[in-house]
Structure 1
Amino acid sequence: MLLNLLIIQTVTFIGIFFLLRFLFSRHLNAALARLNTLHEENLIKEQQLTDELKRAKEEGDAQIKRAKDEAGLIIEEARNEGIKLRANLEEQAKTQVTKIIADGNNEAERFKEKYLKETEVHSLDLAMKLVEQLLSEKDKENLQQEFISEIIFEIAKLSKNQFSVVSDRVKVISSQLLRKDQKENLQQVLKEKTGREMIFEEILRKDLIGGLIVEIGGLVIDGTLKNKLQRILPYFKKN
């Protein structure tokens, strides 16, 4: 029985030895094959790089030769015509061309700026007319209420430092009169910012269509539809 155990262990050891040798030999052969492939690829790349360098050198030599030939012709021509006279004429011509280009660019820029401003004004007027035509009176009323709520919210977010005014009067310009609750909300917000009870002066302007303008002394808060469209239009032009 002990002999059988020894035989089994011996056979097992031999089997493991040959198995490990087979696996090691297999991985070694794969690694050698990979190294050989990489070596061949490197040789190919090296040859390609050598060819490119040779071609670049040939092209560079050809360009240098052409440049030398052209330089020789220019020097000869300058010598025949008078180097100093030629330099003066070239400088004058260059100055004149530069001035013409600069004047043309300035004029083109002024025309472009003028055209963009006129286009923006026209687009804004057109947008206002479209809104006025498309919205019913009920829509305008609902839109106005949204604008009023929005501007009260925006004023509430402003810093108190922006309300360094001495006047206790506030002018509200809008297409519709404020409701009592809206006036109270606006009064409360302004009181928090200025520390005083404000006296309201409401002015109706139907051409505003929607939104309102709040003026306190020199501070003007424009929350009109026209102002919003004016800020949106540049984004449409960019896109």
Structure 2
Amino acid sequence: SMHKHLDTSLKRLKVLHQENLDREAKLKEEIEKAKQDRLAQIEAGKEEAKRITETAEKEARNVRMNAKEEARREAERIIQKSKEKFEKLKRNLLAELETRALDLSIQMIKHTFSSEGNEVLQRQFITEIIQELEGLKKSEFSIKTENVKIKTAYPLDSKEREALKKVLSKKIGRSVKLEEKMDEELITGLIIQIDSLIIDGSLRNRLKKMIAYLKDEKKQT
């Protein structure tokens, strides 16, 4: 009976031992699985962190590139604005210099030429204007009025008046009426105005053209 009881106890110990072995094996399996899951989570975390880092770096590069591009554009805008300001200033200075050169030329002529000399010069200018008018085609005078305004530095004589009336009437196609006005600022010569058509044969205008011509010549040399 004692032997039987011992045998039963041994069998029970074996069963318990096997159960412990099974539990240990299962526990090891669960620990290994948990370890693998943890490693997988760590790897996934690393990949996510890497992706976030790369995205952040890419965004940072884009920001830097955009900032550089914006800075470059801003610099170009500033340079262009400066160029425009400089060109405007240069144009204003040139215009001022031209005006001063014209005024200086006028003053020199006024002091150099006598009144009689300027009158003689006006006669010459009127002759030239009449010749120019005769060379123009009638089609260039699409005028609907017979009123002609004439500014002169010195009064026209009757011969000049008739010559101008004749050539203008011929070109316009009807008899014209001359409205004469004195303007000493012309120095010498005349300006003819028929509606919007203006023919400037004054010395002031010739000087203006000459100064502009000299300026262009200087640019080319």
TM-score (normalizing by structure 1): 0.63
Instruction: Indicate yes or no: 2:116 matched with 1:116.
Output: no
Shift in Å at residue 139 of structure 1?
1.1
Shift in Å at residue 122 of structure 1?
1.3
In 2, distance between residues paired with 1:98 and 1:85? 19
Higher radius of gyration, 1 or 2: 2
Structure 1 residues 180-199: aligned runs within 5 Å: 180-199=158-177
Change beyond 3 A, Cα 1:166–1:88: closer
Tell me the SS of whatever aligns to 1:203.
Answer: strand
User: Who is 1:224 aligned against?
Assistant: 202
User: Who is 2:116 aligned against?
Assistant: 138
**Structure 1: gaps of 5 or more residues:** 1-78
TM-score (normalizing by structure 2): 0.67
Change beyond 3 A, Cα 1:141–1:91: same
After superposition, give the CA deviation of every residue in 1:130-152 in whole Å (9 maximum; x if it has no partner). Answer: 11111012211111111111111
User: Who is 1:178 aligned against?
Assistant: 156
Tell me the SS of whatever aligns to 1:214.
Answer: strand
In 1, distance between residues paired with 2:67 and 2:162? 78
Tell me how many residue pairs correspond in the alignment.
161
In 2, distance between residues paired with 1:85 and 1:167? 70
Shift in Å at residue 207 of structure 1?
2.0
Tell me the SS of whatever aligns to 1:173.
Answer: strand
1:156 partner letter: E
In 2, distance between residues paired with 1:106 and 1:90? 24
**Structure 2: gaps of 5 or more residues:** 1-56
In 2, distance between residues paired with 1:237 and 1:137? 30
Instruction: Indicate yes or no: 2:117 matched with 1:153.
Output: no
Instruction: Indicate yes or no: 2:171 matched with 1:168.
Output: no
After superposition, give the CA deviation of every residue in 1:191-235 in whole Å (9 maximum; x if it has no partner). Answer: 210111111221111221111011122221111111111111122
After superposition, give the CA deviation of every residue in 1:134-191 in whole Å (9 maximum; x if it has no partner). Answer: 1012211111111111111111122212211121121111011112221121111112
Shift in Å at residue 83 of structure 1?
3.6
1:176 partner letter: Y
Tell me the SS of whatever aligns to 1:220.
Answer: strand
Instruction: Indicate yes or no: 2:86 matched with 1:101.
Output: no
Shift in Å at residue 86 of structure 1?
3.3
Tell me the SS of whatever aligns to 1:223.
Answer: strand
In 1, distance between residues paired with 2:178 and 2:70? 69
Tell me the SS of whatever aligns to 1:187.
Answer: helix
Identity of aligned residues (%): 35
User: Who is 1:206 aligned against?
Assistant: 184
